[in-house]
């Protein structure tokens, strides 16, 4: 496996969760209690520590991106033993009217494991504001 590419992938998946195409899932995340979201990057499955199984668009997006990049760059993603992204979600750092607006604090940790090494990434985003959709 290509070490530099796997290091890159570990960093990018964290960045993707906190910003890239995240808008599709913000309303769903707004309804969740604070907790940890665990994503299996090989299957696209997401589980919340308090709620259980989630249907998150971003989980499938990251899975597809990882598969596509691996194929494009000659990295056999199928040979990974595991690939996970854990995200601590906290909406209580700043008091808001949660029916209208939230401040998300994301703390992401990724792990891509091969037979011989683990590649890790981490990112914290403290300023991700979201204005709720009023229906």
Q: What is the largest CA-CA distance in the chain?
A: 51
pLDDT at 124: 93
Q: Domain residues for 82?
A: 3-131
Domains in the chain, number: 1
* pTM beyond cutoff 0.85: yes
Spatial distance between the Cα atoms of 106 and 91, rounded to a whole number of angstroms: 9
121 phi, psi to nearest 5 deg: -135, 160
List pLDDT tens digits, range 82-104.
Answer: 999 999 999 877 777 767 787 88
Half-sphere exposure of 120 (CA within 13 A, CB side): 5
Structure-block tokens of residue 66? 């990882």
Residue 75 · residue 67 · CB < 8 Å: no
Structure-block tokens of residue 28? 């769903």
List pLDDT tens digits, range 44-60.
Answer: 999 999 999 999 999 99
């Amino acid at each position: 496996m290509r070490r530099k590419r796997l290091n890159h992938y570990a960093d990018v998946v964290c960045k993707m969760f906190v910003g890239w195409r995240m808008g599709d899932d913000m309303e769903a995340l707004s309804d969740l209690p604070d907790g940890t979201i665990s994503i299996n990057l090989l299957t696209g499955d997401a589980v919340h520590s308090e709620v259980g199984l989630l249907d998150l668009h971003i989980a499938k997006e990251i899975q597809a991106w990882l598969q596509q990049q691996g194929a494009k760059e000659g990295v056999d993603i199928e040979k990974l033993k595991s690939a996970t992204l854990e995200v601590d979600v906290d909406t209580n750092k700043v008091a808001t009217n949660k029916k209208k607006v939230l401040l998300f604090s994301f703390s992401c940790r990724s792990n891509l494991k091969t037979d011989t090494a683990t590649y890790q990434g981490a990112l914290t985003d403290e300023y991700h504001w979201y204005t709720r959709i009023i229906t």
